[in-house]
Structure 1
Amino acid sequence: MTPQRPTVLAVIPARGGSKGVPGKNLATVAGLPLVARAVRACLGAPRVTDVVVSTDDPAVAEAARSFGAEAVQRPAALSGDTASSESAVLHALDAFEATAGRRPDVVLLVQCTSPFLTPDEIDSAAGEITSGAADTAFTAAPSHGFLWRDAPEGTGATGVNHDKAHRPRRQDREPEYLETGAVYAMAAEGFRTHRHRFFGRTALVVTDPARVLEIDDPHDLARARVLAPLLDTAPVPSLADVDAVVLDFDGTQTDDRVHIDADGREFVSVHRGDGLGIAALRRAGVPLLILSSEANPVVAARARKLRIPVLHGVDRKDLALKRWCDEQGVDPQRVLYAGNDVNDLPCFHLVGWPVAVGSAHDSVRAAARAVTETPGGFGAIREIAAWLLGPELHTPAALPSIS
């Protein structure tokens, strides 16, 4: 008989309130709310069987469900600043068992304030428990820092993990580890008994120090957004993820330059590869729209050449996009929007797949869920079409002559 797979329940505490960063758990890093990043990491861990988000906020619950987790309504008594994470996990355990009719073998406490947590780290923590190697486990980063404690006035500071009179070389010191606060794994029955995340044999899950960041204030959030393009394994969407594609024009389908002749007439350059990609998407039945704040007639002329609808000369692109989605019956969370500059950010916050072209402004790249390698005006839209259509884009039938 095949052994039954252990039930590994990942619990993500995500209150609605936060003093340091208001609405923190819904703040976005690389286009995804923090709670969604945690959910995706948990769902990507092979040993995790169930994921629940414990929250008192309907908006957090809706976000959790939209990314594939279950949501547990946390009572007010467990939602204040003084409520412990353990109390939220215990409540989520009870709620899960009541609805699922199963008792977890392992429970994980996963913090969505650690945006660069990986599925491998979550899986390794769970594996320490399911294998019987430990009763509890947590993520930790190697540390070689010398710690000091400020002593009473007049006596001078003293070393905590070292003798200040002896400074050994890094390679001569015993390794030490810093608790990251990202993931804690516990044998479920032991956790119920001890009501604390550390009991019995405790194992370390060693993680890359470069990925350790805990978001407690706006500066932490700003650092996370800058680091995301470097640390994330950026996913790109497929056609199964997207129901419609909306494209900015200047700087996205052009190189953002304008040529002006002696009579003041403006000209822009477009890329033939982008025309081929757009035509392939159109032939695949993907709803398309060009959305631009630019009133220049060249935008409408390009849309006519590509045979796709256009809204241009628009002041509030996000409102126009929302109205278009309503008219088309398209969920904004299944829209890919490609842009390059700060006036695209409101649309980025509306859609599920905000994409920055390779030449986009830094703030736009930081808010994007995916970034093209190609700059705007040099085939970035063709690259996006290849994400969605894959090998189909390279077949002759997918490449009509419209450019």
Structure 2
Amino acid sequence: MDILIGLQWGDEGKGKIIDLISRDYDIIARFNGGANAGHSIYHKGKRITLKLLPSGIFYPHIKNIIGTGVVIDPIALQAEVEQLQACLPDTDLFHRILVSAKAHLVLPTYKYWDIYFEESPEYRTIGTTKNGIAPTYSNKILRQNIRVGDILSKNFEAEVFQILAKQYLELQALGQDMPMLQELYDNFLEACNFFKKTQITDTEIIINEALRNNKKVLAEGAQATLLDIDHGSYPYVTSSNTIASAACVGLGVSPKLIDKIYGVTKAYCTRVGKGIFPTEITGSPANELRKKGDEFGSNTKRPRRVGWLDLPALKYAIMLNGVTDLVLTKADILNGMSEVPICTAYERDGETRTLVSPTSVDDAARPVWKFLDGWNTPLGKINQQIQVPKELKLFISFLEEELKISVKYLSTGPQREELIILDN
């Protein structure tokens, strides 16, 4: 089994890379997160955002598995399938989708808990997407939640109503604005009935049987390394483990079966919401980079914070994941710059550190900058390594020397075909 991971704070372009390489796999399996993040893919020239569905959904030969580690909002899943069905009218999407019976459901009241926690002055504001992801994982750990397999139980409807009614009264008592309880309940059950059209099964058995039969499996991560609940820039992180080792837990696969680990990084950095961002830039340079790179959330449409490439944090992410193949995206966005800044280390109290956890970098730490010559060649027009401008080749060589890993893929634009495999 191979794994594909984002190495920064998300939005590295994972969806495009998975879409491109997935044609070589038999199974694409999502192992963490929920509908709080989106992978943008261009299909027949149209941009499509996948939030819960694995990125192999466009290929008829691929089984797309939503694994046990994912939390699933049935209403969001129904909306996503229906939107995709409109783009693929003659395709039986349900035949391509398998869902773990052990994955947990996002109940409709959880979104309102998210809103309450984000807007209440009594709680820390994280900057979540308010999709109910954290309350779902919280109730999973408390062993008070409902799983996908429970949809098929005869007691499902009564159990759901009991939980919703209890939480509804609690939220009302806290002053949270709510729609009618019956409306929440009816809409949820309608989406759950739609959910039954998918194949609800023990996906860990299917994946392991496929691996025993020499089938190729690609594990797809949501969010990214620096948003990991344990190793990211806590508390401004997501609610699940996002690093490569989490794929084994989220899908039920032994670490002995892992082969390649693809790590995706932009040529610069972005993040959404609050949290440390040592190489962040502001003002007109930030606005220009944000506009040029279309740095707005694929799910929330929120403007992303932008900054220059952070090598100490990237080294940390590569170390955590054990990356074997590095993917560089959005170098095309930096085209036309006279020089490209890269943070190579941090200085604090006379000490220089080139490998750091993001949470250990505070306001007293000063970035150490390296400025490389920029390139001025539209990358979307090139399709061979020999055409890559000299300055970008030197940029890549510098990264490889610093990171001690080769760049395997170079993305030259947002479209599926705009990618070059580099021969190092």
* Global fold match (TM > 0.5): no
Q: With structure 2 as the length reference, what TM-score do the two structures score? A: 0.26
- Specify which structure has the bigger relative contact order, considering alpha-carbon pairs within 8 angstroms and separated by 6 or more residues: 2
TM-score by length of 1: 0.26
